Chain A
Amino acid sequence: MKPDRTPALLGAILAAVVAGGLLLPQWTLFILTLACAQGLVVLGLVLLQRAGLVSFGQALFYCIGAYTAGGLSRAFGTGDLFVQMAAGAAAAALVAFVLGFLLARYRGIFFGLLSLALSMIFYGLIVKSEALGSTDGMNLVKTTLFGVRPDAAWVRYAMAVAAACVALGAAWLTHRYLRTPLGRLSPAIKDNEIRVEYMGASVRYAIHVNYVIAATLAGAGGALAATTVGHIDPEMAYWTTSGEFVFIAILSGTGSVIAPFLGALVFGAIHTVAYDVSPNTWQMSMGLALLAAIVFLPDGLWSLFAKRKTA
Chain B
Amino acid sequence: MDQVGPVLVDGVIYSAWLFIAAVGLTLVYGVMKILNVTHGSFYALGAYAGASLTGAWLARGYPPALSYAVLLGGALLVTLVFAPAIERGLLRFMYAKDEVVILLVTYALFLILEDTIKLIWGVNPYFVAEPYALLGSFEVGGLKYPTYNLILVGLALALAAGLAWVLHSTRVGKLLLAVIHDPEMSRALGVNVDRYYLVTFTLACFLAALGGSFTAPTVSVVPGLGVDVIVLSFAVVVIGGLGSLPGAALGAVIVGLVRSVSVHYMPQVELFVIYSVMALVLAFRPRGLFGLAEPRKI
Contacts and interface: CB of A to CB of B under 8 A. Distances in A.
Given A108-B99, A123-B271, A128-B272, A114 B279 contact: yes
A247 B110 CA distance: 13
A216 B90 CA distance: 37
Given A203-B298, A280-B118, A114 B283 contact: yes
Interface in A214-273: 239-240, 243, 246-247, 250
B295 A290 contact: no
Contact of B115 (A117, A204, A283): A283
Interface residues of A, number: 43
Contacts of B105: 291, 294
Interface string A52-73: 0010000000000000000000
B161 interface: no
Interface in A294-311: 294
B71 interface: no
Given A117-B282, A118-B279, A121-B276, A246 B104 contact: yes
Given A284-B112, A286-B111, A287-B109, A107 B296 contact: yes
B283 A116 contact: no
Contacts, number: 127
B275 A109 contact: no
Nearest to A107: B296
A128 B267 contact: yes
Residue picked from A113, A128, A129, A281, most chain B C-beta under 10 Å: A113
B140 interface: no
A239 to B, nearest CB: 5
B120 to A, nearest CB: 11
Contacts of B271: 120, 123-124, 127-128
A112 to B, nearest CB: 6
A56 to B, nearest CB: 9
A107 B104 contact: no
B282 A110 contact: yes
B200 to A, nearest CB: 18
Interface in A69-126: 102, 105-110, 112-114, 116-118, 120-121, 123-125
A197 interface: yes
A128 B279 CA distance: 19
A209 to B, nearest CB: 16
B270 interface: yes
A110 B296 contact: yes
B101 A124 contact: no
B100 interface: yes
B119 A280 contact: yes
A30 interface: no
Contacts of B231: 116, 120, 239
A118 B270 CA distance: 15
A288 B110 CA distance: 10
Contacts of B90: 291
Given A280-B119, A284-B116, A108 B100 contact: yes
B296 A294 contact: no
A64 B286 CA distance: 26
B171 interface: no
Interface residues of B, number: 45
A292 to B, nearest CB: 9
B115 A109 contact: no
Contacts of B123: 280
Given A197-B298, A204-B298, A128 B269 contact: yes
Contact of A283 (B100, B114, B269, B276): B114
A172 interface: no
B297 interface: yes
A283 to B, nearest CB: 5
A113 B283 CA distance: 11
Contacts of B103: 109, 112
Contacts of B298: 105, 107, 193, 197, 203-204
A107 B113 CA distance: 29
Given A105-B298, A108-B296, A109-B35, A294 B283 contact: no
A249 to B, nearest CB: 10
B232 to A, nearest CB: 9
B266 to A, nearest CB: 10
Interface string B171-207: 0000000000000000000000000000000000000
Interface string B41-84: 00000000000000000000000000000000000000000000
Interface of A: 54, 102, 105-110, 112-114, 116-118, 120-121, 123-125, 127-129, 193, 197, 203-204, 239-240, 243, 246-247, 250, 280-284, 286-288, 290-291, 294
27 contacts: A106-B286, A107-B297, A108-B100, A109-B100, A110-B286, A113-B234, A113-B278, A117-B238, A120-B278, A124-B272, A124-B275, A124-B276, A125-B272, A127-B271, A128-B269, A128-B270, A203-B298, A204-B298, A243-B107, A247-B107, A280-B115, A280-B118, A280-B119, A283-B111, A287-B109, A287-B110, A291-B90
Interface of B: 35, 90, 99-101, 103-105, 107-116, 118-119, 123, 227, 231, 234-235, 238, 267-276, 278-279, 282-283, 286, 295-298
List 6 tightest A-B contacts by C-beta distance, closest first.
Answer: A124-B271, A287-B111, A124-B272, A284-B115, A287-B112, A290-B108
Given A284-B112, A284-B114, 13 more contacts: A108-B295, A113-B234, A117-B279, A118-B279, A121-B275, A124-B269, A128-B267, A129-B268, A243-B107, A247-B107, A287-B110, A287-B114, A294-B108
